[in-house]
Amino acid sequence: MSSRKVLVLDRVGALCSELRALELQDWDFLEVSSLDAARRALGSSEASVGLVVFDSVSSWGEREVEALISLHDIEWIAILGEGLLRTRAFPAGILRQFHDFHSMPIDRERLQFSLGHAYGKVRFCTRDSEVPHVSGRYGMTGSSPRMLQLYRQLEKVVTVDAPVLIGGESGSGKELVAHAIHQHSARGRGPFIAMNCGAIASSLIHSELFGYERGAFTGANQRKVGNIEAASGGVLFLDEIGDLPLDLQASFLRFLQEKVITRVGSTERVKVDVRVIAATHVDLARAVLEGKFRQDLYYRLNVLHLHVPPLRERKEDIPRLADAIFADNRHQKSSQVKGFSSEAIRAMVDHPWPGNVRELINRVQQAMIMSEHKLITAADLGLSVADAATAAPTLEELRSSIEREVIETSLRRHRNNVSETARQLGISRVTLYRMIDRLKIIL
């Protein structure tokens, strides 16, 4: 068994040698003599338990100790100098923050038990955040009704070979869906070639797609296989297909119809077997109406249509997604960060996520590195606490809902007789009518 690390905060520096003399097996003691050194050590070591030695009343500032031990997700045990508890000046309240306390001289058996118990508690409480959460299918996280619908559609799409058009807002997971189709279809062993039509200069798209022969134009020093040919036997994924220039749409349509390409500078016709998956964040049907996209190409690409829902339409997936992102990135986080506060989760569920899952990933990654808390806060995620506050009902809302419940029950009991209901509730008829009106109760 590897040794379990214990941080010992002791200004005098006598405890560590005493502990080592006790020969407690499997425990590794790391000694520091200042609060600053303790903070640094906690940032870099994997200690699960900390001991703080209080040997005189003035040894540590109460507030500073409290700040230190609330910062990290480790359990703390206080070691008190002999007779210290009996002195009135010792701030005994601080012991509430500790897992346990011991008085000098140390009882070996009891300390061993106490350390083991504290260590076990830390492991138990942090276990969840270390296990990657798998909830979803096709390499995607999510079990909301919208995602279940997408999985059902994918089940059908992977069994056939027709072109697919994937719609959905930016960052919602269109490329992930394209990968899923590739991996789970008969073409899974073939290549997956992705090309973003919006990111390539329009003058280059043709040769990127179809390739060219040596000497086809100035600078063509050697033959280049185009993306269509490179995807042979697999999938060609065309992201932002709406950005394909109109003249190229005609050439691409010809390829889709004939399954044959001609490299630039060549007359040879090469037969290519690829499945085309295209994605767009713009409404292609509207682009057709506006004359920006060829209708015939639209129909060729849109044989099978999938829509990836925006994150705000599958809010129930957000906590799971955030946990999965946390688990994926746990190797590059600030050491004390152990998970999300409930306030952070509420703020995430409430945020509208214009950048969808990609925005969620960015915010969580940033918070995992920059947070100075054990549990990531809404502010760490750059989300306003006001966002979080709107999720919880206000006192006024709670009061209204209780009043509505009580009045409706009483009205039912008295068959909507307002006089009897008012009498039972101990209010006047006028007050009851006002409340019925304010609470929008239907008689």
Ligand X SMILES: Nc1ncnc2c1ncn2[C@@H]1O[C@H](COP(=O)(O)OP(=O)(O)OP(=O)(O)O)[C@@H](O)[C@H]1O
Among the listed residues 170, 257, 342, 416, the single contact to ligand X using CB under 6 A: 170
Closest distance of CB 314 from ligand X, Å: 8
DSSP string, 74-116: SEEEEEE-TTGGGSTTS-GGGGGGSSEEEESSP-HHHHHHHHH
- 338 burial via Cβ count (<10 Å: 0-12, 13-18, 19+): buried
Segment interacting with Mg ion (CB under 5 A) among 97-105, 172-180, 212-220, 256-264: 172-180
Among the listed residues 53, 65, 140, 364, the single contact to ligand X using CB under 6 A: 140
The CA dihedral of 138, 139, 143, 145, to the nearest 10 degrees, is -50
Q: Does 55 bind Mg ion (CB under 5 A)?
A: no
DSSP string, 347-391: HHHHS--TTHHHHHHHHHHHHHHH--SSEE-TTTTT--HHHHHHH
Q: Does 301 bind ligand X (CB under 6 A)?
A: no
| Comparison of 69 and 318: residue with beta carbon closer to ligand X | 318
Phi, psi of 64 (to 5 degrees): -65, -40
Closest distance of CB 150 from Mg ion, Å: 16
Among the listed residues 133, 281, 294, 333, the single contact to ligand X using CB under 6 A: 281
Q: Does 200 bind ligand X (CB under 6 A)?
A: no
The entry of ligand X, Mg ion, none that residue 71 binds, CB within 5 to 8 Å by partner kind: none
Among the listed residues 50, 167, 171, 226, the single contact to ligand X using CB under 6 A: 171
What residue is closest to ligand X based on CB? 173
Q: Does 230 bind ligand X (CB under 6 A)?
A: no
| Comparison of 172 and 207: residue with beta carbon closer to ligand X | 172
Query: Which residue from 354, 281, 288, 411 is spatially nearest to 435, judged by alpha carbons?
Result: 411
The entry of ligand X, Mg ion, none that residue 309 binds, CB within 5 to 8 Å by partner kind: none
Closest distance of CB 251 from Mg ion, Å: 23
Among the listed residues 55, 175, 317, 323, the single contact to Mg ion using CB under 5 A: 175
Query: Which residue from 118, 158, 72 is spatially nearest to 371, judged by alpha carbons?
Result: 72
What residue is closest to Mg ion based on CB? 175
Q: Are 181 and 235 in contact (CB under 8 A)?
A: yes
420: left (phi over 0), alpha (psi -120 to 50) or beta: alpha
DSSP string, 228-251: HHHTTTSEEEEETGGGS-HHHHHH
Among the listed residues 176, 287, 327, 379, the single contact to ligand X using CB under 6 A: 176
Sites for ligand X among residues 237-266 (CB under 6 A): 239
Sites for ligand X among residues 318-337 (CB under 6 A): 321
- Residue burial 30-49, b: 16+ Cβ < 10 Å; e: rest: ebbeebeebbebbeebebbb
Q: Does 172 bind ligand X (CB under 6 A)?
A: yes
Q: Are 264 and 210 in contact (CB under 8 A)?
A: yes
Site size toward ligand X (CB under 6 A) is 17
Segment interacting with ligand X (CB under 6 A) among 58-66, 163-171, 230-238, 292-300: 163-171
Q: Does 243 bind Mg ion (CB under 5 A)?
A: no
Q: Chain centroid to CA 306: how far?
A: 24
Contact footprint for ligand X (CB under 6 A): 140-142, 168, 170-176, 239, 281, 321, 357-358, 361
Contact footprint for Mg ion (CB under 5 A): 175, 239
